[in-house]
Amino acid sequence: MSSQRLSVVTGAAGALGAAMARQLAADGHRVVMMDVAADRLEEKAQEIGPAASPLVVDVGDPAAVERVCETIRNQYGTVDTLVNNAGILSNNKAESTSVDEWRRLMAVNLDGAFYLTRALLPGMRRQRWGRVVNVCSLAMKSGGLTAGTAYTASKGGLGALTFSLAREVAAEGITVNGVAPAYIRTPMVTEQLTDVQREALLRQIPVGRFCEPEEVARLIAFLVSPHAGFITGEIIDINGGLHMD
């Protein structure tokens, strides 16, 4: 592991991804921020400062992922930490989900995590140190309370990918974990749910509020730290008591 950690965060133009990048930068990481939203990505990177570098990429495009990972290796070096956060929400249930929507959600929510991990694992293996965190969802455990079929299935696949990778690389100093948040105060909750849905959800969440993006970011900061080297293959819930197992 290099003296200054190099981390990649996908979906970094959104509220959650930006909070992750901000937390990692505060912890001394150099952070490569990835997203398809070029303008918002540049804005968020500028807010963080020189520790953050924006790279525009569609993580659902395997050729684009290969190109951007080659750019990272050439310009920044070996990636120590990968946070697969990029995701698209759909609340459509099975009969309302088109084939195109299904494929797009799988491409971004699941395939992108695989493409990036596959590309960046060799560097972690060479240095025998690495951290991968996949942002899953309560939907994978609950069947999707408000989330749709494609979203729920994509996050379930991401959980299984977490387990498979964790077992594969555990002996090489690399941990792979997931976090399963529920109802973070981001546009997915504030804009894509109705007032009635939000009020109903708040009545079900024992702590009585939505999760803040910074709370998820701090959890991930711990998982990618040297202090979490004995935690791998876990999906850690952060849902205010909405689901307990």
Give the active site residues.
151
Task: Calculate the alpha carbon distances from 151 to 16, 110, 157, 181 in Å.
Answer: 17, 10, 10, 14
What is the Cα–Cα distance from 59 to 62, expressed in whole angstroms? Answer: 7
Distance between alpha carbon 239 and the CA centroid of its chain, in Å?
16
For helices 149-169 and 99-106, the axis angle rounded to 10 degrees is 30
Which of 198, 202, 210 has the alpha carbon at shortest distance from 238?
A: 210
Q: How would you class 226 by CB atoms within 10 Å of its CB: exposed for 0-12, middle for 13-18, buried for 19 or more? A: exposed
What is the arrangement of strands in the sheet containing 235-238, beginning at the earlier edge strand? 52-56, 30-35, 6-10, 81-84, 130-135, 174-181, 235-238
Q: Are 94 and 22 in contact (CB under 8 A)?
A: no
Task: Please name every residue paired with 10 in a beta bridge, in sequence order, or none if there are none.
Answer: 34
Q: What stretches of the chain adopt beta strand conformation (E)?
A: 6-10, 30-35, 52-56, 81-84, 130-135, 174-181, 235-238
